């Protein structure tokens, strides 16, 4: 990029922040515009008045093999803001049968853990887990229900919970290739790459506040409550950004990164094709009274209403992915049904429903079916100084933190190498 040019980053979610972080690291002048009053987008913390606790909009789980996440945290000085569960362990409870088990991959690339019953869900054969190989060579984008053949036990105890958590889409409809990419970058690289990573002091303290401080310390600017309402074009370039009541002209070498969700992007670039269907994730946070022995950990739940429970301090938080069918239920009903599962999982069924907060993220991610993901756009647009970023763009990965950050890095690379 030529000196004196500015990169205008629209959206201060993790895609926009990671893009800005990489750019200021290269000495580029950056201004970030954020519509809301805070950064973080779909990955944020807030103080909840009912619980009087700092909670996250939703539980986020990262894996140690998420290389863009690692690079981002290192850049903003927040590597220690995530705790890593080592050795990698994914504990489960079947609420119907009462069985508990753990998935414990081994070190090294040869996955001998599949041969050890104590390291894999009960009732699963080796063939059930090796079904993943079929995903490696798919000729087309296929839904998992067509691409992956396994026993009912394997579906219930391994593939379904994994795929729904990763793709936020019902198992049978989920895009097989996207799940394969995650398996390839984590589970198939051995124990170290699939160590779960959690944010014990909240997502804001890990991903957002250090990035804001990092940007400001390097001359980057973040303007909150500043939605970009429109983009003006001239020839093949964007020539101005429209804000409430004014249009700011872009310099001849200025660049624009659009790091906003799909519908917002489409409002700014109407010719853009985007995946329009979104999927919900429902979270419930329960004040359980005292810190628990499983603090800082999580548990997968099978056969219930809740799918995952995370314990942080004296708050137990429940996640239900692909939760569209329940998103319109009254909060009280959702809370009661979640608590029924959580209290059983934690062995505190004698407790009445405690103070709680239900957070419905109705547009948590794009629908990740083959029919939707074909509309993910690449980073490049037909405008020579407009680049796309965001978890929903065509990163090759599912819409996750890793995908969002990778898209931000890619956008930064594109604008710093194209001029």
Ligand X SMILES: Cc1cc2nc3c(=O)[nH]c(=O)nc-3n(C[C@H](O)[C@H](O)[C@H](O)COP(=O)(O)OP(=O)(O)OC[C@H]3O[C@@H](n4cnc5c(N)ncnc54)[C@H](O)[C@@H]3O)c2cc1C
Asked whether the beta carbons of 197 and 85 are under 8 A apart, the reply is yes
- Least distance (Å) from ligand X to the CB of residue 343? 22
3-state class (DSSP) for residue 47: strand
Got the DSSP string for 243-303? ETTEEEEPPTT-EEEE-S-HHHHHHHSTT------EEEEEEEEEE-SS--TTTTEEEEEES
**For residues 174 and 390, what is the distance between their CA atoms, to the nearest angstrom?**
20
10 binding ligand X? (CB under 6 A)? yes
**For residues 361 and 346, what is the distance between their CA atoms, to the nearest angstrom?**
25
**For residues 109 and 222, what is the distance between their CA atoms, to the nearest angstrom?**
43
Specify the residue, 131 or 377, whose C-beta has the smaller distance to ligand X. Answer: 377
Contact flags string 246-275 toward ligand X, x per CB under 6 A? -------------xxx--x-----------
DSSP state of 109: S
Specify the residue, 13 or 128, whose C-beta has the smaller distance to ligand X. Answer: 13
- Exactly one of 78, 370, 400, 410 binds ligand X (CB under 6 A); that residue is 400
Within 143-202, the residues that bind ligand X by CB under 6 A are: none
Distances from the Cα of 70 to the Cα of 84, 189, 239, 405, angstroms: 12, 16, 35, 10
Stretch that binds ligand X, among 5-13, 23-31, 325-333, 343-351 (CB under 6 A): 5-13
Specify the residue, 168 or 343, whose C-beta has the smaller distance to ligand X. Answer: 168
- Rounded to 5°, angle at Cα 408 from 394 and 185: 60
36 binding ligand X? (CB under 6 A)? yes
- Least distance (Å) from ligand X to the CB of residue 189? 17
- Least distance (Å) from ligand X to the CB of residue 365? 6
Q: What are phi and psi of 283, to 5 degrees?
A: -120, 145
399 binding ligand X? (CB under 6 A)? yes
**For residues 194 and 85, what is the distance between their CA atoms, to the nearest angstrom?**
9
- Least distance (Å) from ligand X to the CB of residue 388? 10
- Exactly one of 404, 410, 411, 415 binds ligand X (CB under 6 A); that residue is 404
Asked whether the beta carbons of 150 and 131 are under 8 A apart, the reply is yes
Residue among 307, 326, 314 at smallest CA distance from 285: 314
Specify the residue, 226 or 343, whose C-beta has the smaller distance to ligand X. Answer: 226
Stretch that binds ligand X, among 31-39, 124-132, 180-188, 214-222 (CB under 6 A): 31-39
401 binding ligand X? (CB under 6 A)? yes
- Least distance (Å) from ligand X to the CB of residue 349? 27
Contact flags string 51-90 toward ligand X, x per CB under 6 A? ------xx-xxx----------------------------
- Exactly one of 1, 7, 9, 14 binds ligand X (CB under 6 A); that residue is 14
Pairing of strands 297-302, 90-94: parallel
- Exactly one of 283, 307, 381, 385 binds ligand X (CB under 6 A); that residue is 283
Distances from the Cα of 231 to the Cα of 269, 378, 385, angstroms: 8, 19, 12
- Least distance (Å) from ligand X to the CB of residue 127? 29
- Exactly one of 148, 361, 386, 395 binds ligand X (CB under 6 A); that residue is 361
Cβ neighbors of 167 (< 8 A, separation 6 or more) are: 174, 175, 178, 179, 322, 368, 398
238 binding ligand X? (CB under 6 A)? no
User: Order of strands across the sheet with 83-84?
Assistant: 62-63, 196-198, 83-84
Asked whether the beta carbons of 357 and 371 are under 8 A apart, the reply is no
Asked whether the beta carbons of 133 and 144 are under 8 A apart, the reply is no
- Exactly one of 281, 358, 410, 415 binds ligand X (CB under 6 A); that residue is 281
Specify the residue, 17 or 28, whose C-beta has the smaller distance to ligand X. Answer: 17
What does the binding site for ligand X look like in residue numbers (CB under 6 A)? 10-16, 33-36, 41-43, 57-58, 60-62, 227-228, 259-261, 264, 281, 283, 361, 364-365, 390-391, 399-402, 404
């Amino acid at each position: 990029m030529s000196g004196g040019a500015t990169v205008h980053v629209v959206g201060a979610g993790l895609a926009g922040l990671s893009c800005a972080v990489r750019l200021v690291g290269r000495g580029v002048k950056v201004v970030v515009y954020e519509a809301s009053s805070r950064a973080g987008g779909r990955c944020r913390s807030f103080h909840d008045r009912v619980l009087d606790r700092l909670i996250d909009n939703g539980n986020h789980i990262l894996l140690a093999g998420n290389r863009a996440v690692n690079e981002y945290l290192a850049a903003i000085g927040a590597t220690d803001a995530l705790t890593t569960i080592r050795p990698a362990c994914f504990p489960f409870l079947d609420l119907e049968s009462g069985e508990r088990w753990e998935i414990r991959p081994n070190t090294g690339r040869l996955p001998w853990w599949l041969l050890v019953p104590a390291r894999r869900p009960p009732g699963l054969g080796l063939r059930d887990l090796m079904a993943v190989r079929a995903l490696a060579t798919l000729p087309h984008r296929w839904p998992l229900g067509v691409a992956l053949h396994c026993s009912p036990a394997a579906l219930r105890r391994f593939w379904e919970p994994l795929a729904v958590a990763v793709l936020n889409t019902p198992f049978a409809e989920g895009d097989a290739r996207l799940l394969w990419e995650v398996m390839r970058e984590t589970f198939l690289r051995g124990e170290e790459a699939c160590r779960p990573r959690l944010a014990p002091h909240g997502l804001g303290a890990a991903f957002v506040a250090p990035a804001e401080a990092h940007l400001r310390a390097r001359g980057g600017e973040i303007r909150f409550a500043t939605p970009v309402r429109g983009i003006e074009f001239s020839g093949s370039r964007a020539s101005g950004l429209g804000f409430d009541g004014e249009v700011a002209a872009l310099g001849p070498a200025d660049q624009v990164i659009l790091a906003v969700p799909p519908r917002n992007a489409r409002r700014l670039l109407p010719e853009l094709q985007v995946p329009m269907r979104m999927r919900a994730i429902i979270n419930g946070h329960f004040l359980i009274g005292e810190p628990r022995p499983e603090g800082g950990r999580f548990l997968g739940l099978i056969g219930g209403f809740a799918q995952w429970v995370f314990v942080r301090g004296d708050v137990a938080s429940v996640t239900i992915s692909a939760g569209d069918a329940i998103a319109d239920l009254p909060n009280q009903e959702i809370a009661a049904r979640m608590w029924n599962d959580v209290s059983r999982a934690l062995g505190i069924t004698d407790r009445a429903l405690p103070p709680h907060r239900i957070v419905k993220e109705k547009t948590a991610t794009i629908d990740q079916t083959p029919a939707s993901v074909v509309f993910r756009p690449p980073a490049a647009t037909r405008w020579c100084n407009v680049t796309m970023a965001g978890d929903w763009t065509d990163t090759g990965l599912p819409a996750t933190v890793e995908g969002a950050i990778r898209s931000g890095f890619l956008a930064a690379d594109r604008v710093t190498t194209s001029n």
